[in-house]
Structure 1
Amino acid sequence: MADIFNEIDEDLRRDQLRRLWDRYSGLLLAVAVLIVLGVAGWRAWEYWQDTRAQAQGDQYVAALKQIETGDLAGAETNLEAFAKTADGGYPALALIRAASARQQTGDAEGALKAFDAVAAKAGTPPLLADFARVRAGYIALDIEDRAKVEARVAGLDTATGAWRHSAREILAFAAWKAGDYAGASKRLDEIDADPQTPRVLAEHAKMLTGLITAATEKKAAGAAGSAPAASTGKAP
């Protein structure tokens, strides 16, 4: 008797499933199709993104190789053109390298304007914008006065600034060129006190400290030599 009830129960379940299938099969199939198409579309988009990123990387590397081979003008042209179509961080990187290529040609003022443009361009990642300001600051040391140089790197020398080491070096050189040895020494002390200062910048700081010491001693010796002799109190 129990077997009969079990068979009846199974028949009822099959009938219920059949009715549910008849009622919702179209919807279930549609959902399944959408899932398959969604996964396929996502995979296609990922593939397109990977392919595009690879192509952009190849373009960028090719332009950098032009710089290595000495084709600075060609590299600058290609990098600027690439920046107009690339996405992500590539446009800023490309424009920075284009500005560097211009600097290598000896066009300091042109490179300065190019770095300024990168720093001011909307969409440039903040870290790269500040890097462009630092690069411009180094160039400005040779063609602008102290006030303009200091304005270029203002705010980059904070205790946690990513480019604080370079900013401090720029400020130290600007003060030194202006004859403000005390101001330069203050910046050099900041460089020396920071345990994270890159070794190359620490070496630059030591060299500049040596120059300041030599200049100070020379100035002191000159002042002592030009001082009038003390009177002995005797008539000549």
Structure 2
Amino acid sequence: MALSPTNNAALLQEVDEAVRKDQLDSIWQRFGIWILVGVVAALIAFGGYLYWGHMQETKRGENAEQLLAAFDKLKAAQPTAATAELTKIEADGGPAYRAVALFQQANMKAERGDLKAAAALMAKAAADTKLDPSLRDLALIRQTAFEYDTLKPEVVIARMKPMVDAKDPASSWFPSAAELSATAHYQLGQYKEAGALYGRIADTPNIPKSLQSRTVQMAGMLGVDVVKDRAAESAAKEQKGSVAPAAAGPAEEKK
């Protein structure tokens, strides 16, 4: 007796399921142990990742407590105890906390007049490849500032060049680096280069007023009239703004 189309479909489905089962059984027999090993390894790796994250979080908490303890000791006029806490963070803290520890220790050395030790700490931070590049740049600027009186102007200019030539100076340490470099150019008698740098600093947005005032004066003394340039720029902007509505007038009249 011939099978109906429905029975044919049911039979084909049963055959298909039987073939798939045989294939799965074959795969399991051949690779089952490796599949189990892979699953267990993945679970172990995931557990290890979670544990590592927990340990990192715990370590950050410990670093934060040590840093607060160091600041508390500084407020209590206990510099030796504060230095001990900062040294611990420097030795085994995370990159960000290690940077804070080095900067604070350098501040303490500089306040006591030990600029050589302060510069050495900043050199250590500047050479730490695990720190964020912006922190390393700041460390190099501070190292150079601490060592400035003992350095040749050419060395200062060479150190600051990458930051002075940065493509986006407004978001970098350009003003501080450029001021050190401009002063070095001035000492070498390179007044044109110094004046140009002072002018660039003065034109940098959102810099401290004291720095802006200082650089405007230095630029003016070296023949770069930043104030005049700014006035001309402002006038050009105002003129451009006033021309636009006038040009739009006829179009509005046609409406």
- Which structure's residues are more often helix, by fraction? 2
Q: Tell me by how many angstroms 1:91 deviates.
A: 2.9
Residue 86 (structure 2) pairs with residue 79 (structure 1):
yes
Q: Does 1:42 align with 2:49?
A: yes
Aligned equivalent of 1:150, options 135, 149, 156: 156
Q: Unmatched 5+ residue regions in structure 2?
A: 223-255
- CA deviation vs aligned residue, 1:21-54 (integer Å, no higher than 9, x gap): 6983864655554444443333222222222233
* Percent of matched pairs sharing the same residue: 21
Checking the alignment, whether the CA contact within 8 Å between 1:169 and 1:188 is kept in structure 2 is yes
Q: Do residues 130 (structure 1) and 134 (structure 2) align?
A: no
The CA deviation string for residues 121-140 of structure 1, in whole angstroms up to 9 with x for no partner, is 56555433321121123233
- Over 3 Å counting, the alpha-carbon distance change for 1:24 and 1:179 in structure 2 is closer
1:59 has 2:69 as partner:
no
Preserved CA contact (<8 Å) 2:157 2:184: no
Show the 5 A alignment for 1:59-208: 59-121=66-128, 123-141=130-148, 143-144=149-150, 147=153, 150-151=156-157, 153-155=159-161, 156-160=163-167, 162-174=172-184, 178=187, 182=191, 184-195=194-205, 197-206=207-216
> What is the one-letter code of the residue matched to 1:45?
W
Cα distance in 1, alignment partners of residues 27 and 174 from structure 2: 69
1:158 corresponds to which letter in structure 2? Answer: D
TM-score (norm 2): 0.59
Residue number in structure 2 paired with 1:234? none
C-alpha separation between the residues in 2 aligned to 1:204 and 1:112?
Answer: 25
Cα separation, partners in 2 of 1:54 and 1:21, compared to 1, 3 Å: farther
Write the distance in 1 (CA, Å) between the matches of 2:79 and 2:95.
Answer: 24
How far 1:95 sits from its partner (Å)? 1.8
Equivalent residue number for residue 230 of structure 1: none
Give structure 1 stretches of 5+ with no counterpart: 214-236
Paired letter, 2:102? L
User: Structure 1 residues 201 and 68, CA, compared in 2 at 3 Å: closer, same or farther?
Assistant: farther
- Could you say what secondary structure the match of 1:154 adopts? helix
8 Å CA contact retained: 2:160, 2:180: no
Q: How many Å separate the matches in 1 of 2:41 and 2:128?
A: 42
C-alpha contact 2:199 2:216 (8 A) present in aligned 1? no
Per the normalisation by structure 1, the TM-score is 0.63
Higher alpha-carbon deviation: 92-101 or 122-131: 122-131
1:91 maps to a residue whose letter is: R
Paired residue secondary structure (2:160): coil
1:60 to partner: Cα distance? 3.2
Q: How many residues align?
A: 210
The 2-side partners of 1:148 and 1:74 are apart by 40
Distance 1:207 1:181, change over 3 A: farther
Q: What is the CA–CA distance in structure 2 between the aligned matches of 1:70 and 1:181, rounded to whole Å?
A: 46
* Amino acid in structure 2 at the alignment position of 1:144: T
Q: Relative to structure 1, is the Cα distance of residues 172 and 37 closer, same or farther in structure 2, using a 3 angstrom cutoff?
A: closer
CA contact (8 A) 1:136 1:152 kept: no
Give CA-to-partner distance per residue, 1:78-122, whole Å, 9 cap, x none: 323322212434434422221122112222232123223333456
1:24 aligns with 2:28: yes
